[in-house]
Chain A
């Protein structure tokens, strides 16, 4: 807490400045009053909430963080960790102070300066607090590969990522439709993406053009990047594995998007269909000896079937209740998989799931009796990477199919009905839309893609167990859809890259453990950060990073969702 002292003089000028700008919006006659306020009083208005926050943080930390229960000789013993509490309380204080001043500051430039200032203050505070560790760290030359260079790279990468993200949000805007170009429909009904801008005062400036270009080129650029990734010189085994993982989540996100983003049915048990797909393939292969390419459609059909089975009973439910029942359904599927030992192998799972073949060519070093392998057929040297690249293209193709089908479905009556149902179910019914088939089709098609992804997951892993299909997976997929802005295809792809890439990235940020002590293992804190991020995104941008809830069609005039409907309170 002592380190907060040098921050105060720093904050005071900003605070007065902030107050002035904030006051300038209110009627003039209050300004004489304002100028008479002393600097100290202004500082107090910011310091008081910060102190309260710090106090609450202290209260929260006292039992749970200050004292850790460890297994001792005879029973549990308590280990004390007051340094953690001090750090957290300090961070809470600075954080609240920062938010208070940030909110009071109006000008963008002042806000940027303020952010930089806060960043530097936190860096200095941490450096002072952890000085012995940092000294040791530098003296040891960074130790096992953790030199100072990565720290700078990490920070630079973080800054670049933030600028890109910011640009992306600005470029896409709240009402830009960044889906694939749509053919014009009836004369009075035009597609949202082609809707001319309303006649407002703003003119088409260069910035506007840049935005349009960025908007339209983003999708194709990502697609080209994805297609050429295996031939990229940087792509090694690790990158390819990560890319496969990300694409699996992109596909799951797009699948769930049909249910949540388009039809507006909050499904918390999506992982059940993923599990159904995976187990369908594994069991069909085990009991009937079917190959991947026969099982893939079968797994999709089975998952869709289960989607309908779930859909029927929950037809009458909406919103929160629907979410809870789907969550219960997901858990039921998992518990059954876990306990039906004779059939599913229970917690041991199923192993030796066959790999996919390339038109009958195996990806193995030695061919089976009377068969040829991939590398001998094409006259290549054997490389284990071939199989990985093949898997990569399978999931990429599957993801593209999902995307294409979704985009086409949005143009069909059924897709329109989904979106109409999302916006207003009662209005939908009164217009004669059959909400039963609309809901069931959304569940079935969403589940089908989940089944495809599950089947792919099974063949990629070669081993599946109920461990892979816990509720957390559903939460991650949902987070991707929400983060991407429900309904936006490209938003979901970017969200999957950010989230899965970010979670993966947190695995090897070694220097964080130097800053936060040896007990800090970024691997374990990944899910904590993930949860906090989910809350933060909801609070900050409830419509997702790249909000796109615009309906695919609008009648005559485009009404954008006004800000007061989307959020309440500050910024």
Chain B
């Protein structure tokens, strides 16, 4: 039981990170109907930018709490801003010229972009793993028994709270701001949206920017949680987050979050109870099964095929 609760907590934490990345996939797919294959690499870039700013400011676990909080927020803001710039550039260079081209062109372009980005980071930042000392330490023991204590670390609390806050903010943006309205309009019918005065290109760009900013948050949380990153984290995290987006119903924001949680839980339980080696196989199999038997996901709308 204690082991189960511990795995549950770990799963929710991991799921939050996947959910944040999944939002980027789901928004982009919802609005232009393409899989942004490079999104996982944007997440990785976000993690690297956060790492670099953390080293620049010189954050270590030893500093005072107030300074730590302030510094982490500054790093988070900078990482979001600069990663958003990367997201915007990727859209501008690789996807915008292909709008209206045949269906697979943007996907192939995205694969090229993904290859470009992770090899670029491998070259300019080095192929070695980048370790950072734990910054947010400590935790609470919430259960004890059978010689096994269930611990919720402060880091896990930070991750879950950050995720919930950001989800609330972005749900509000989608639901109640002009940008959100424009986005939903573009999602339904791009031509009609353009006719009613929505700047479609700008809206799509902003979608990428928001997705990249959230990926940067996920990247920074990943860095703080695991304490180690390398240039290859984007690939696997990207596929799993995409699985999460599909599972939750692509195009749906709460769906992405729900899918992220489920994928995180499955991965953690699989490694906890079965085998660590095949945890990726489990995630991929779920992706295949969901797409085949439930293509519209848990909370998504079924896709209507027009002839």
Residues in chain A within 8 A of chain B (CB atoms): 56, 59-60, 62-65, 67-71, 75-78, 266, 268, 313-314, 316-317, 319-321, 323-325, 327-329, 331-332, 335-336, 338-339, 426, 471-472, 475, 478-479, 482, 524-525, 527-528, 530-535, 538-539, 542-543, 565-569
Contact = CB atoms under 8 A, between A and B. Distances in A.
A328 B307 CA distance: 29
Contact of A532 (B112, B121, B280): B112
Given A324-B35, A534-B109, A539-B94, A64 B284 contact: no
Interface stretch (B81-89, B148-156, B175-183): B81-89
Interface string B271-307: 0000001101100110110011001000000000101
Given A59-B85, A76-B132, A78-B56, A64 B112 contact: no
18 contacts: A64-B121, A67-B52, A76-B131, A266-B104, A320-B35, A324-B246, A328-B287, A328-B288, A332-B285, A475-B115, A478-B111, A528-B116, A530-B115, A531-B116, A533-B112, A538-B105, A538-B106, A567-B97
Given A56-B85, A323-B107, A538-B112, A471 B120 contact: no
Nearest to A561: B102
Contact of B281 (A335, A471, A539): A335
A325 B291 contact: yes
Interface string B124-144: 111010111100000000000
Nearest to B283: A328
Contacts of B202: none
Interface of B: 33-35, 45, 48-49, 51-53, 55-56, 78, 82, 85-86, 89, 93-94, 97-109, 111-117, 119-126, 128, 130-133, 235, 239, 242, 246, 277-278, 280-281, 284-285, 287-288, 291-292, 295, 305, 307
Nearest to B81: A59
Contacts of B291: 317, 321, 324-325
B300 to A, nearest CB: 12
B103 to A, nearest CB: 6
Given A67-B55, A538-B94, 4 more contacts: A69-B125, A314-B292, A530-B115, A531-B120
A327 B283 CA distance: 13
Contact of A266 (B107, B120, B125, B284): B107
Contacts of B94: 535, 538-539
Given A320-B35, A332-B281, A69 B126 contact: yes
Contacts of A336: 281
Contacts of A71: 128
B252 to A, nearest CB: 16
Contacts of B122: 524
Given A65-B124, A316-B295, A325-B288, A534 B97 contact: no
Given A68-B126, A76-B132, A426-B305, A535 B51 contact: no
B98 A539 contact: yes
Contacts of B85: 56, 59-60
Contacts, number: 186
B298 to A, nearest CB: 16
For the residues of A in contact with B, the DSSP-based class is helix
Contact of B86 (A60, A317, A566): A60
A531 B130 contact: no
A542 B45 contact: no
Contacts of B78: 63
Contacts of A535: 93-94, 109, 112-113, 116
Given A68-B126, A76-B130, A542 B56 contact: no
A492 to B, nearest CB: 15
A295 B143 CA distance: 59
Contacts of B119: 525, 527-528, 530-531
B52 A64 contact: yes
Given A336-B281, A478-B111, A324 B116 contact: no
A538 B131 contact: no
Top 7 A-B residue pairs of the complex, sorted by shortest distance between their CB atoms: A534-B112, A531-B116, A531-B115, A328-B284, A538-B109, A527-B119, A339-B277
B124 A64 contact: yes
A68 B295 contact: no
Nearest to A70: B126
Given A62-B82, A328-B287, A339-B278, A534 B111 contact: yes
Contact of B123 (A325, A524, A530): A524
Contacts of B103: 319-320
Contacts of A471: 235
Nearest to A81: B124
Contacts of A65: 124
Contacts of A539: 93-94, 97-98, 109
A555 B114 CA distance: 41
B104 A64 contact: no
A478 B104 CA distance: 12
Contacts of A567: 97, 101
A162 to B, nearest CB: 20
Contacts of B52: 63-64, 67, 69, 78
Contact of B108 (A64, A332, A527, A534): A534
